[in-house]
A = this chain, B = another copy of it.
């Protein structure tokens, strides 16, 4: 006696919907034993429940349909199964990390006394910075102003000479709190495109999460107060600041045309300056995570 199951019975045994079983057929993952050419009805054997279970197990472990198709192709365990498993595990750990990042941000948003800064007419922005390559010069300077300008002038000229200017804003890293204003250790950074041939001194700047004071217009006299506010906000939001402060110059006074800067970076006067402040923060905090 042949004991074939109809699609609804198979679906019920497998704990999935009929639509899902049809979809797996369409994808070639789970072909019926027999299809009635008159009615189009799909018929399955009881052994199909095992194949379906293999599929749902892999789906429950977050494998995609195309991954499962590859894994189940020749009916036995492929050599790279354990590779697939461990990279899937890593992908899930990464996803969890992403969610924990979002949770941190939700919690930061929840601090209602600061909500308007993040939300209403937001002046504070949380974002992830990608790692980038930059030509940097680190130095002790007596005070802000002219010495910084001087360093940038030289550095821009050097980068321009090599034709390596990346299409991104230059910035300044304060390796000591800028509120000191005197005897500072700073690093000026000009993003560059990668070029192995060049002798220009270049370093990798790691990516990170940062809290930013969104670009403000006008002179630099405002930065101290803004940095303080930003730091205050970070503390109140329950985040841990991690790493030196940065000042990003989206639009600034450039003295010479031959830096070949894109025009949008060039301010003709102080009122056109456009500056952003950033403080890196970390997502890992007090409680340890395993794995």
Contacts and interface: CB of A to CB of B under 8 A. Distances in A.
Interchain residue pairs A-B with the least CB separation, the first 9: A53-B125, A54-B122, A53-B122, A61-B105, A61-B106, A62-B102, A89-B106, A96-B99, A85-B110
A13 to B, nearest CB: 5
Contact of A115 (B60, B77, B125): B77
A250 B15 CA distance: 12
The interface residues of chain A, by DSSP majority, are classed as: helix
A56 interface: yes
Given A46-B217, A57-B119, A214-B49, A15 B112 contact: no
Interface of A: 3, 6, 9, 12-15, 46-47, 49-51, 53-54, 56-58, 60-62, 71, 75-77, 81-82, 85-86, 88-89, 92-93, 95-96, 99-103, 105-107, 109-110, 112, 115-116, 118-127, 168-169, 212, 214-215, 217, 250, 264, 272, 274, 276, 287, 290-291
Contact of A124 (B12, B53, B291): B53
A123 to B, nearest CB: 6
B99 A264 contact: no
Contacts of A125: 14-15, 53, 56-57
A50 B86 CA distance: 42
Contacts of A215: 13, 46, 49
6 contacts: A3-B272, A14-B125, A50-B122, A57-B125, A61-B106, A81-B112
A93 B102 CA distance: 10
Contacts of A121: 47, 50-51, 54
A88 B102 CA distance: 10
B103 A92 contact: yes
Nearest to A5: B264
Nearest to A272: B3
